[in-house]
A and B are shown apart, each in its own frame.
Chain A
Amino acid sequence: MTRVRVTAPQSIARVAPKRPYHSREAAEDSDVGQVFVRSLIRSQLRLAVVVASGFLLVLAAYGSMVALVPQLAQMRILGIPVNWIILGVALYPVIGLSAWLYNRSAARNEARYRDLVEEK
């Protein structure tokens, strides 16, 4: 086991210039390459906004349901009020599902980008 002197991690500004894969980087810096990059960023942002709005809509739907159907607080499953079950248990799978769908689509966007760039 050799001893290594521990120093500060290099921050991004200092490591940025020396990176491998010049050919591909050049392709990204070209005008056509930038078109691809911009479209990747746009599609990732669109995806994120869509998933986020979908989730917020679910929350809003729950909120208006509680407001519009006051009997909900009286209904019980196994003795536990229904609004406790929705808010305390049922929302979590919705969060997990949104995250899983997002991960799949984001990875697909990236794969599509890779194919485009490598075709050139």
Chain B
Amino acid sequence: MNPAVGLAAFLGVALATAGIGFYGLRISRTTGDFYVASRTVRPWWNASAIGGEYLSAASFLGVAGLILLTGTDALWFPVGYTAGYLMLLLFVAAPLRRSGAYTIPDFTEARLESKAVRRVTSLVVVAVGWLYIVPQLQGAGLTIRISTGLPSWVGSIAVVAVVCMTVVAGGMRSITFVQAFQYWLKLTALAVPVVFLLLNQTGGGSAVLAEASSNPTGLQAAGLYQTVSLLVALLFGTLGLPHVLVRFYTNPDGQSARRTTLIVLGLLSVFYLFPTAFGLLGRVFAPELASNGRPDALVLLLPGKLLGGVPGDLLSALVVAGAFAAFLSTTSGLVVSLAGVISQDLLGGSVRGFRVAALLAAVVPLVFAFTTDSMALAGSVGLVFAFTASTICPVLLLGIWWRGLSDTGAIAGMLTGAVLCGGALVSGTIIGSAAPGWLAQPAAWTVPAAFAVMVLVSRATKHRVPGTVTRLMTRLHVPERPVATERQLR
């Protein structure tokens, strides 16, 4: 690939991001604007922003790479990523918006009346956020190396720098505009090349796609346990992702939180058609990428490989731009939500504290990204989902729907999930590809274990259920008063 093309694409995205962020800063005037965009973002804007934030390196590069590698098994990833939003809609969206809490620790503290629960939740949230940022930065490293030939660390550092600048300057309101823009950029960046490649390659009919199901790597198909466990992780992990949840507070009320989620589902469904198409095309035209160990680069390399010349360069630039939009948007979403947690719990909650916390939230994973080896992007993000599903998901679901949850139960359950799932992931990584399936994909047993411990310990400590539970459950589930929604927040 022509290095100038890659560099121009990255600079273009960085400038557009900074520009929109700056424009947002000019109209971000109040505290509410800064943190939650005054909860008045329209459903379409908000849904685009949620989509923009959610579609990470794993979706943009990883899914196509994994499809190239394993075929239909990998198709469960986009299905799970999308269906996770269905679960979020069914069990979490409206009640969580009505809780009025800004972060997940705010929610657990208010629900369980306990500072200790708040601290444990904060730790888990920060761990999840950091784990999730690492693959984004590794994806950025891969992209910069492939598109410009520069060393990987340049890409990771560039992403962290741009994110810190936009987050520190603009807060939530400007981020909403940036994220919404980046959803549409990512969609365009995959859709246009796919259409071109299909027209170019299959103009004479689709007979050539017939080879698509051939397996270039000869990898074993995933067993039933693997698929089920992956789906558990993706379906129940999404509803605990900190950067996804913080977005729901920007809706004016519970009803619009649901409407927003429905639009998000539509946007995700449309988006995921294109990585799937890329994967399919890759299996036909670039199977060698699977065997030389860089399947994640498929999306970046395919346009140049198939078209060449100026059209190839232009499409490559578009894809590189889309990839950087993915790293930037997910990382900045995570950094905003982590900074919210860190600044409220450690730094007293001033805006200055928020800015310091944002730096902290972005720089720590940078160190991780340098010191660890990158795995397949979709796979490593899938593991983060497993961790979220075993820790944050049980406390949210039980907190919203079960009056009997006690603070001790919540802490015990979260720690159980964190230790079991974390332990399985670490030992699975150490053992490597020889690890048994139940270690490599632990969600199917760690999620039920965390739920069970949470329920049993809560049962045993009934006296610790807070007296405010009735009032809080009412608040979570009763529809808003028509006028009161906006005013009471000011």
Contacts and interface: CB of A to CB of B under 8 A. Distances in A.
A99 interface: yes
Interface in B456-479: 470-471, 473-475, 477-479
Interface residues of A, number: 57
B72 A80 contact: no
Interface in B114-139: none
Residue in A7, A41, A99 with the greatest tally of chain B CB atoms within 10 Å: A99
A32 interface: no
Contacts of B101: 11-12
Q: Is the interface of A mostly helix, strand, loop or mixed?
A: helix
B265 A88 contact: no
B31 A9 contact: yes
Interface in B55-91: 72, 75-76, 78-79, 82-83, 85-87, 89-91
B78 to A, nearest CB: 8
A31 to B, nearest CB: 11
Contacts of A28: 474, 478
Interface stretch (B102-110, B292-300, B367-375): B102-110
A9 B206 contact: no
A8 B344 CA distance: 8
A15 B212 CA distance: 58
A73 B78 CA distance: 20
Given A7-B351, A79-B209, A92-B82, A99 B265 contact: yes
Interface in A15-73: 15-16, 19-21, 24, 28-29, 34, 37, 40-41, 44-45, 48, 51-52, 55, 59, 63, 73
A112 B36 CA distance: 31
Given A7-B350, A84-B212, A21 B206 contact: no
Interface magnitude class on chain B: 35 or more
Contacts, number: 167
Residue in B171, B471, B475, B478 with the greatest tally of chain A CB atoms within 10 Å: B478
Given A8-B350, A83-B72, A91-B79, A99 B86 contact: yes
Contacts of B329: none
Nearest to A106: B258
A4 B33 CA distance: 11
Contacts of B266: 96
B299 to A, nearest CB: 16
Given A6-B31, A11-B102, 4 more contacts: A20-B484, A81-B212, A88-B78, A88-B273
Interface of A: 1, 3-9, 11-13, 15-16, 19-21, 24, 28-29, 34, 37, 40-41, 44-45, 48, 51-52, 55, 59, 63, 73, 76, 78-81, 83-84, 87-89, 91-93, 95-96, 98-100, 102-103, 106-107, 110, 113-114
Interface of B: 29-32, 34-36, 72, 75-76, 78-79, 82-83, 85-87, 89-91, 94, 99-102, 106-107, 109-110, 171, 205-210, 212-213, 224, 227, 231, 255, 258-259, 261-262, 265-266, 269, 272-273, 276, 280, 343-344, 348-351, 353-354, 401, 470-471, 473-475, 477-479, 481, 484, 487-489
